[in-house]
Amino acid sequence: MRRIFILLCLSFLAGLAQADDLKLRIAADALTEPKTPLEGTVTKSILYETDGGSFFGGTIYSASLGNAGGLFIGGFEAGQKFQLGADYFIEAALFFGGGGGAGIVGGDGTLLRPRLNIGRKIGDYELSVGASYMHVMGSKISSPAIEIGISRPLGWLIGDGHIEQCTGCTVKAQSPFVMIESVGAAYKNYIPLTDLAVGKRSGNTLTTMQLAGAGLVLNMDHMWGKGWQSYIDAYGAMGGDGEGYAEIIIGGRYGYDMTDWLNIYADAGLGFAGGGDVDTGGGTIVSASVGAKWQIFSAAKLETSIGYVAALGGGFHAIMPAVKLSLPLGGSKYIEAANFDATALNPTHWSVTAGYSIIAEHPNMRYVHDTDTGFLGLTDFKGDLYLNDYIYMTGQALSVTTGGAGGFAIGLVGAGATLPLSDKIDVSAEILLGAAAGGAINVQGGLVAVGQLDVDYKLNETMSLTSNIGWIKAVKGGLNGLMLGTGVKFHFTSFR
């Protein structure tokens, strides 16, 4: 299976010269022979697809059916689409990654999941049905699954490599398109409404939780209408109760400019969450909030909001005050499609890394009750946003596949500086802070810090090989060891 996955990745890399577009894929499945509280998952993927049908990208599975809220499995997916005439297609893919949660993955948590789908293209959308097999190592999760999926090109204004002008943006602007508006880091409290339910699976009372996370906001003016945005947020517990809790929420927002420096908004989202004994039932949560966004500096905005979050199938309900610092990417004024000028767009340079990292075994890395040994191996997905040629913001998500720590995951945000040593080689230094939990790894509350050095070797203008060495430390726990990693880094530019 792993060899097949590598071959699919190589076929994708060979087709990059004829790359087409990013697409979003969402699927829901049901296990036909469930042996644990997990009965079904929801899949979220962002895939880069070539004109030849090869695709590769990041995928997250999260529990949605049964009583396994908090199970997350993240990693990479590679595959090939075969056209059957103008509108029909067959799609074969293989996922490699790891994770766990909900107390049902005690071993490594590795998942190699093949799937086969048949589908039809209807306008910009692709609808498909298919089958897959889900077996998570170190658990009793082992079952065929049937799924339905929908995918659509994201229509983002992007270009390959770090460039200054979008040569294809004029063509894209003839149809609805999306622009990346901002990225940000956030902190929020969950204040449980325990008069509705105690909030914990164990029957104990849930107390206030502190969460840290990051998010991406997309400008939907030319897709949904003026003032509309969509967002993707990911959070993890880093203080208070609920150590091990994590969530991913996707939603929509409508905002109104009160002045040049103040915007008020309301939003609603649907997500998947759990862990830390928080009673999210099958894992599906909903949220809604109102807030205000202030322009505090020319390059930053401050957001404050108050909202409500609840599990659809569990006893978790909470009020959620939040604060967020966001970085706008280019202009923010609405532009009529008829007046669209690609030469006036602001470029933002990005790099995205798909890789694998290890944390060396060391004393006190695990809680005393855990008897597993060995290093931790983790899939590693990383995104860098460049503020200029040398300074960048960075976010990183890691999910365990090896080491007897199923369910262990890390989410980080931070900053870095890069220095070119030659036309081919760059070195970078980074400092990151975030949340980690799961797998009986001793993180004591979840707050972790990382410092690391990267070395990149440029293969061409769109792709580099990268390796890194660093150190990870739990602020209060025993996790305190060497990190090593390697991967492939893809460079692109978004326009706003």
Q: What are the tens digits of pLDDT across the range 434-452?
A: 888 888 889 887 889 999 9
Q: Average pLDDT in the 133-157 region?
A: 89
**Residue 300 and residue 486: Cα distance in Å, rounded?**
32
Q: Are 111 and 137 in contact (CB under 8 A)?
A: yes
Check pLDDT > 50 for residue 224: yes
Q: Which of 309, 339, 369 is the last residue of a domain?
A: 339
What are the counts of helices (DSSP H) followed by strands (DSSP E) for the chain? 2, 25
The more confidently predicted of residues 122 and 99 is 122
Residue 144 β-bridge partners: 133
What is the CB neighbour count within 10 angstroms for residue 422?
8
pLDDT, tens only, 156-200: 777 888 888 877 665 565 566 777 888 888 899 999 998 888 888
Of the candidate ranges 202-206, 293-297, 457-461, 465-469, the one whose mean pLDDT is the lowest: 293-297
Give per-residue burial for 249-286: e unless 16+ CB within 10 Å, then b.
bebbbbbeeeeeeebebebebebbbbbbbbbbbbbbbe
Q: Which of 101, 122, 154 is the last residue of a domain?
A: 154
- Nearest one of 57, 97, 52 to 78, comparing CA atoms: 57
- Nearest one of 64, 145, 72 to 109, comparing CA atoms: 72
Are 353 and 330 contained in the same domain?
Answer: no
Are 298 and 266 contained in the same domain?
Answer: yes
Check pLDDT > 50 for residue 130: yes
Check pLDDT > 50 for residue 17: no
- Nearest one of 458, 253, 251, 254 to 351, comparing CA atoms: 458
329: three-class secondary structure by DSSP: coil
Q: Are 272 and 42 in contact (CB under 8 A)?
A: yes
Check pLDDT > 90 for residue 496: no
- Nearest one of 411, 478, 496 to 440, comparing CA atoms: 478
Check pLDDT > 60 for residue 335: no
**pLDDT, position 41:** 92
**pLDDT, position 495:** 81
Are 133 and 189 contained in the same domain?
Answer: no
Check pLDDT > 90 for residue 478: yes
What whole-number percentage of the chain has pLDDT above 90? 44
Give domain status of residue 167, yes or no: no
Check pLDDT > 80 for residue 94: yes
**pLDDT, position 158:** 79
Residue 463 β-bridge partners: 490
The structure tokens listed for 146 are 């049937």
**Residue 163 and residue 313: Cα distance in Å, rounded?**
47
What is the CB neighbour count within 10 angstroms for residue 484?
15
**Residue 463 and residue 84: Cα distance in Å, rounded?**
32
The more confidently predicted of residues 36 and 299 is 36
What is the distance of C-alpha 327 from the center of its chain?
A: 18
333: three-class secondary structure by DSSP: coil
Give domain status of residue 160, yes or no: no
The more confidently predicted of residues 8 and 489 is 489
The structure tokens listed for 221 are 């003016």
**pLDDT, position 16:** 42
Check pLDDT > 70 for residue 237: yes
Check pLDDT > 50 for residue 464: yes
Give domain status of residue 364, yes or no: yes
Q: Which of 305, 339, 373 is the last residue of a domain?
A: 339
Q: Average pLDDT in the 405-429 region?
A: 91
Are 265 and 385 contained in the same domain?
Answer: no
Give domain status of residue 169, yes or no: no
**Cα dihedral 162, 163, 168, 170 sign:** positive
Q: What is the DSSP-derived secondary structure letter of residue 177?
A: -
**pLDDT, position 6:** 40
Give domain status of residue 484, yes or no: yes
Are 145 and 205 contained in the same domain?
Answer: no
The more confidently predicted of residues 9 and 493 is 493
Are 78 and 181 contained in the same domain?
Answer: no
Q: Average pLDDT in the 404-409 region?
A: 83
**Residue 1 and residue 78: Cα distance in Å, rounded?**
12
**Residue 348 and residue 326: Cα distance in Å, rounded?**
15
Give domain status of residue 358, yes or no: yes
Number of domains in the chain: 3
**pLDDT, position 4:** 40
Q: Average pLDDT in the 360-386 region?
A: 89
Q: Are 309 and 287 in contact (CB under 8 A)?
A: yes
The more confidently predicted of residues 76 and 18 is 76
- Nearest one of 373, 310, 383 to 58, comparing CA atoms: 383
Q: Average pLDDT in the 405-414 region?
A: 86
Are 117 and 222 contained in the same domain?
Answer: no
Are 181 and 319 contained in the same domain?
Answer: yes
Are 354 and 483 contained in the same domain?
Answer: yes
pLDDT, tens only, 241-281: 887 788 889 999 999 999 988 999 999 999 888 887 889 88
Check pLDDT > 60 for residue 334: no
**pLDDT, position 23:** 87
Are 110 and 238 contained in the same domain?
Answer: no
pLDDT, tens only, 348-369: 899 999 899 999 999 999 988 8
CA distances from 201 to 196, 257, 345, 464 (A): 14, 42, 50, 45
Give domain status of residue 311, yes or no: yes
The structure tokens listed for 101 are 């949660």
Average model confidence (pLDDT) across the chain: 86
Q: Is 224 exposed, middle or buried (0-12, 13-18, 19+ CB in 10 A)?
A: middle
Check pLDDT > 80 for residue 468: yes
**pLDDT, position 178:** 76
**Which residue range forms the structural domain that includes residue 193?**
174-339
Give domain status of residue 399, yes or no: yes
Q: Is 51 exposed, middle or buried (0-12, 13-18, 19+ CB in 10 A)?
A: exposed
User: SS3 helix, strand, coil % of the chain, rounded to 5?
Assistant: 5, 65, 30
**pLDDT, position 371:** 80
Q: Are 457 and 464 in contact (CB under 8 A)?
A: yes
Rg (CA), the chain: 22
The structure tokens listed for 446 are 């979840």
Check pLDDT > 60 for residue 11: no
**Residue 357 and residue 398: Cα distance in Å, rounded?**
8
* CATH number for position 109: 2.40.160.20
**pLDDT, position 100:** 81
5: three-class secondary structure by DSSP: helix
Categorize the per-residue pLDDT at 19 as very low, low, confident or very high, splitting at 50, 70 and 90.
very low
**pLDDT, position 12:** 41
Are 335 and 350 contained in the same domain?
Answer: no
What is the distance of C-alpha 322 from the center of its chain?
A: 20
Are 384 and 294 contained in the same domain?
Answer: no
Categorize the per-residue pLDDT at 3 as very low, low, confident or very high, splitting at 50, 70 and 90.
very low
**pLDDT, position 391:** 94
- Nearest one of 411, 401, 456, 418 to 434, comparing CA atoms: 411
Q: Average pLDDT in the 118-139 region?
A: 92
Q: How many CA atoms lie within 13 A of 34 on its CB side?
A: 16
